[in-house]
Amino acid sequence: MLQTLHSIVQEVNAARGLDHALNIIVKRVAETTHVDVCSVYLVDPDTQEYVLMATRGLNPDAVGRVRLRLDEGLVGLVGERKEPLNLEDAEAHPRFRYFPETGEERFHSFLGAPIIHFRRLLGVLVVQQAARRRFGEEEVAFIVTMAAQLAGAIAHGEATGTTTRLAGGGRLSRRPITGVPGSPGVAMGRAMVAYSPADLFAVPDRPAEDVEREIAAFHAALEAVKEEVKDMSSRLADAVSADEHSLFDVYLRMLESDSLVKGTEQRIRDGNWASGALRDSIASHVSVFDEMEDPYLRERAGDIRDIGRRILMRLQLDAGDQRSVPEGTVLVGEEISASQLAEVPTDRLVGVVTARGSGNSHVAILARALNIPAVMGVAELPVNRLEGRELIVDGYAGRVHIEPTPGAKKEYRRLLREDAELSEELQALRELPAETPCGYRVGLYANTGLMADITSSLASGCDGIGLHRTEFPFMIRERFPGEDEQTLVYRQVLEPFVPRPVVLRTLDVGGDKPLPYFPVHEENPFLGWRGIRLTLDHPEIFLTQLRAMLRANAGCGNLRVMFPMISRVAELDEAVGLLERARDELQEEGIDVEMPRVGVMIEVPSAVYETDRLAAKVDFLSIGSNDLTQYLLAVDRNNARVADLYDELHPAVLSAMNHVVQAARPHGTTVSVCGAMAGDPVAAVLLLGMGVQGLSMSVSSLLKIKWVIRSFTRKKARALLEQAWSMERSQDVRHLLNGALEEAGLGGLVRAGK
């Protein structure tokens, strides 16, 4: 039975649209289970009726014509109960409804299973037989399994418009489709599909008739693509800073790497023509990155594919994409590369949407730097049918509206106006302190990782950097960066902020974030060898970074060092010991350095309950709300299937954070929060009520949070926190706080979606 199921699934995946897939299913299910009838009824969202969409055994003329109310017949009963219904004599059931046009009067046995996709009822799969009998347990299990398989195909068909009988001849569904937020904001425009004319992996093998000529052609293509990349980088010179240009430096390093250049040359010398040799070289690189667990590094496979396609296009003397780019363009693609984004004039680009990818992709990083709303990983995105279509991109909620309704357009235009007005209004707060009406001061800090973040943070009036991710210099190189290289990078972060504090988080890679030159393969990387665990196991790497941080701090004095992924006191003791050793070594070498303030990230549940011991040993604690929420709720927020379960206002998350704040207080250890929660106006009220002393967030949220802090007294915030404690559902907490923001005149900060 399992082999049959796999065979049916393969046929369905290869079907020409949903109608074809439905016909395959009813035919194969009828044959496999030896039943007389197999039918599929789908819910028409416009009329809220079941429609017979495909059948094997009933009158084919009834397809598209037979309709039932959602509360009508046995099909309606299956949908209501959302469980299988197995009847020996269907006609004897009080909910039986007879349709003469189907010719089903001959069939007595009935088995129906609901077709459900992410809790949404899509339809019902039915089998019938003339003989009166109850279907066996194995038959029921098979039909339930087929219904579950069918759910994904139907959901995709809805999004792509291939449910032709339900969607008016192939009209794209107006139901918003969901991905992962890549860059915040709202955009309205028309889609321009990004694609590569050259299909690299379709290139055939061909003997190299003149090896040297093929090698020369390959090198000419390489040089041409290098010039393309340099030109694309210069186009963004006024829009992003030097560190964003390092994304294009990554491309240049790929184009100059021995593994690509010499590897392709060798394949040509082995007898393959330049295009075929290039194909094999790129495929070899892609396979390595595709197998990596870390989302950021998997994105690099897309960059490598893009480099390969560009070289191939040059080899083929392809002129490329000659379409003009109109104003209000939303760039759409299966997988958009940073270079494809750079090719679109920034004054005409309003949004980005991809079918694959995540918030760690280069295009998402650039979109955030350019302040362009983006939604990534929209699995149901009908890319090949979107050219010129009107789109709404909701980068806050991770939703895309295709050919939106007049009502949706009106609502989002209102949000755009409110965003513009709010942004203008917030500028007046730039030079004011984040201080409550009762005089309580909260430090507002920026989360950074790229030099563009440094530039915008300086302009924002923040109190310093609450979290600087040091991973990026490690990820863009083909080796571990040396001590001098790291010292220069950290100096560029520390110096501009003197005397404001800058928190450098030590290297947080490994497990789910392996480096390309230091891969780690694990069964469960999120609970694996990562963060402080990896660096403690490799003191030669850790000491180099710590020495570089201390050297960069000489003459600045604003360095704060923070250790990630601490789960026990022993790890902290060992890490501090290595930091002291790095200081002693440098002093012995005649370099005058001082011991910086030290902190710990509270992002592992065990650390929450070790707060008392940890707080006694460090100067500050920073609650990493993103990871702590994911670990506490066992939810990967980048996984669209469970993203709705990720909620920082969950009572368990709030209780854990309050525990940390209260446990640290007797030791005089400051507690801050970094991550998305710190930049959420609703959550900020609760954190103020807890007594959190600092909030570190994306710069785009800083003035909004300052407005909140200046609008609530500690007493009012504490009262709201007490009310939140009494609530069992996070939706109720958010509703309470949204109301409080409205009452305080901060309605512009309230955004639907949770």
Question: What are the tokens at 62?
Answer: 């009834």
Residue 462 catalytic?
no
Q: Locate 287 and state its tokens.
A: 């396979």
Amino acid in position 97: R
The tokens describing 746, both together, are 């901060």
Alpha helices in 161-257 (DSSP H): 211-235, 242-256
Query: Nearest-CA neighbor of 340 among 361, 358, 317, 316?
Result: 361
Which of 37, 44, 63, 60 minimizes the C-alpha distance to 52? 63
Catalytic residue among 38, 462, 556, 674: 674
The reply to whether 362 belongs to the active site is yes
Secondary structure letter of residue 587 according to DSSP? H
Helix, strand, coil percentages in the chain from 3-state DSSP, rounded to 5: 50, 15, 35
Nearest to 491 by CA among 553, 403, 555: 553
Nearest in space to 447 (alpha carbons), one of 624, 213, 205: 624
List beta partners, residue 87: 110
Q: How far apart are CA 26 and CA 32, in angstroms?
A: 10
CA separation for the pair 409, 404 (Å, rounded): 6
Q: Hey, is 580 helix, strand or coil?
A: helix
| Strand 37-44 with 49-56, pairing | antiparallel
Mapped onto helix, strand or coil, the DSSP state of residue 407 is helix
CB 82 within 8 A of CB 121: yes
Question: How many Å apart are CA 555 and CA 747, to the nearest integer?
Answer: 45
Q: How far is CA 548 from CA 141, 374, 487, 531, 553, in A?
A: 61, 35, 4, 18, 9
Q: Report the distance separating Cα 369 and Cα 287, nearest Å.
A: 29
Helices of type H across 427-503: 451-460, 472-475, 483-494
Q: Tell me the pairing of strands 597-602 and 67-69.
A: unpaired
Q: Which of 108, 285, 362, 468 is catalytic?
A: 362
Residue 614 contacts residue 574 (beta carbons within 8 Å): no
Cα 745 versus chain centre, distance: 32
Residue 701 three-state SS: helix
Q: Nearest-CA neighbor of 626 among 668, 670, 553, 565? A: 565
In angstroms, the CA 630 to CA 648 distance is: 9
3-state SS assignment for residue 676? helix
Would you name the residues annotated as active-site residues? 362, 674
